[in-house]
Amino acid sequence: MHTPVRRTPLLTASVLVALALAAGGAALAGNGGIAPVEPRSPNAEGIRDSYWLILAVVLAIFALVEGLLVYLVIRFRRGRRQRFEDGAQLHGKSSLEVLWTAVPVLILFAVVAFIFVKLPGIRNIPSADAAAGRLDVTVTAHRYYWQFEYPNGAVSVDTLRAPVGQPVKLTLTAPDNDVIHSWWIPALGGKIDAIPGQTTSTWFTVDRPGVYKGRCAELCGLLHADMLAWVEAVPKAEFDAWLEREAAAQQAGTSKLGEQTYAGACAKCHGLAGQGDVGPRLDGSAAVSDPAGIEKVVREGRNAMPAVGAAWSDSQLQALTGYVKERFGSGG
């Protein structure tokens, strides 16, 4: 005697489906939905277009396959037939088999063709002699901050200033004794790795003023989550004036480079107020009044602290030592 098949009640199945949909909705809402951020650079727009095409194809295939599955389950269900009885015998249909083989190939070909059409606009860096010119910036990734060097020698930490409407080429690298990092400003393009001892390149052209947030997209260690980056886009005339002023101020030692360097390279371990966290407390410490001692630590590292300032210029190091002595030194 055959045991009857136990069927899941319809109510229980409906509740499970409802819970799954609710959980999926909450997950989507918590991550900002499935849409990419609004692109503000041509290469980011190409990535967004590719994303939507692939998503549409995937959803269409999912709907087709799952729809057919539900239809076939209902259409060929056992019904009142005893479970030990054979169902109706079905035979192959050549035209249908050719169709479900050829259509996926054509879909895949269409997706690949679309991506190859979009790829040059995503990867190819505009030439330096383009009508709008091009700004070349060197980006050095450190544990756990970004340093930007402009053509006139000015530097900034964690925040890159850029002109609106002008192509910006980024040449990325990392120190030989560092780890792999990954530059990613979602609104301005895709991810690109900064590899120790090697150089990679990417680009963007911001189409409107604003501040665009990004982060290191490669797990690089304990403070990886604090390795954030910002691109501050301003009108070109404003950017040119700032760049000239900033280079002169850094040369004269009157800029805020020391404060910016501390906030990006030091505060993530020692605290923005020097209160100590991963690293020891600096506020009130006698060590911050010793420029030679600070230089030795930041250039060579100590214990678990990497050599965060091994490649800093003398002017940047002096700006940092002056800032920490004034702010955190005894009686400061």
Going by the DSSP 8-state scheme, the letter that residue 37 receives in this structure is P
Mean pLDDT of the chain: 88
Is the separation of the CB atoms in 226 and 182 below 8 Å? Answer: no
- Tokens for 140? 């050095």
- Compute the distance between CA of residue 116 and CA of residue 189 in angstroms, rounded to an integer: 17
Residue type, 85: E
Is the separation of the CB atoms in 205 and 167 below 8 Å? Answer: yes
Check residue 17 and give its pLDDT.
65
For 151-159, what is the mean pLDDT? 96
Check residue 9 and give its pLDDT.
53
For 180-197, what is the mean pLDDT? 96
Three-state secondary structure call for residue 47? helix
- Compute the distance between CA of residue 274 and CA of residue 254 in angstroms, rounded to an integer: 22
Residue 289 burial class via C-beta count within 10 angstroms: exposed 0-12, middle 13-18, buried 19 and up: middle
pTM for this entry: 0.82
For 38-59, what is the mean pLDDT? 95
The residue ranking higher by pLDDT, 92 or 290, is: 290
Q: How much of the chain exceeds pLDDT 70, in percent?
A: 89
Q: Where do runs of H (alpha helix) occur along 76-182? A: 94-123
Query: Binning pLDDT at 50, 70 and 90, where does residue 331 land?
Result: very low
